[in-house]
Amino acid sequence: MTAQLDVLTVGYVGDRVAGTVALIRDGDLVAVVDPGMVADRARILDPLAELGVRPDSVTDVVFSHHHPDHTINAALFLNARIHDFWATYVDDEWLSRDFEGGQEQLSPSVRLLLTPGHSPQDLSTVVETDQGLVVCTHLWWHADGPAQDPYADADTLRASRRLVLDLAPALIVPGHGEPFTPGPTTPR
């Protein structure tokens, strides 16, 4: 059994900014990754509806990090547990997490992986799909990098990128761009 991943909206950076938002389904898990800034909330809600998913059926929301362009629309999912590098949040409960070995399993085919880089609190969502391993991460803004994230500690970013690339993902879903297949020109 593997998970299904759909990109709901592709993000961008320029005069305006929007985060890439993904939907992951794996058994009882219905997760939205990085429901942040978009030109219109319909850019999240309409693709969800086309996939037959209601906002109230989303069980989990994952933040790659706490910048508003990746978090601002989390309240669309009233019944969801919220996950970040620190804890899982359910209503008024703060359930601290202990990333044993730097990762935590959310479902049989989905795990969270600590990957500091863009910020010291980054995590990546690793998804086993029929098309291979997919990683939703902000270690890359888009396929071209940037080679050096202006907000990152260079050594930490390189180490986390190496960690992700060593997983041999078939696809990377970056923070602000189209999913891409990593290759020799992928910034490391």
* Helix H or strand E encompassing 48: helix 42-50
- Ranges of residues in the chain whose predicted pLDDT is under 50: none
CATH class held by domain 4-173: alpha beta
The Cα-based distances of 132 to 2, 107, 169, 172, 175 in angstroms read 9, 16, 7, 11, 20
Three-state secondary structure call for residue 68: helix
Task: State the pTM of this model.
Answer: 0.96
What does the block give as tokens for 139?
């270690």
Task: State pLDDT tens for residues 30-44.
Answer: 999 999 999 999 999
How many CB atoms are closer than 10 A to CB 117?
27
Q: In a 3-state reduction of DSSP, which class is residue 159?
A: helix
User: For position 102, what pLDDT does the model report?
Assistant: 86
Give the list of residues 6+ apart from residue 185 with CB closer than 8 angstroms, or none: none
Question: How much is the pLDDT for 17?
Answer: 97
| pLDDT at 59 (0 to 100) | 98
pLDDT value at residue 99 = 81
**Three-state secondary structure call for residue 50:** helix
Give residue limits of the domains in the chain: 4-173
Helix or strand holding residue 112 (H, E): strand 110-114
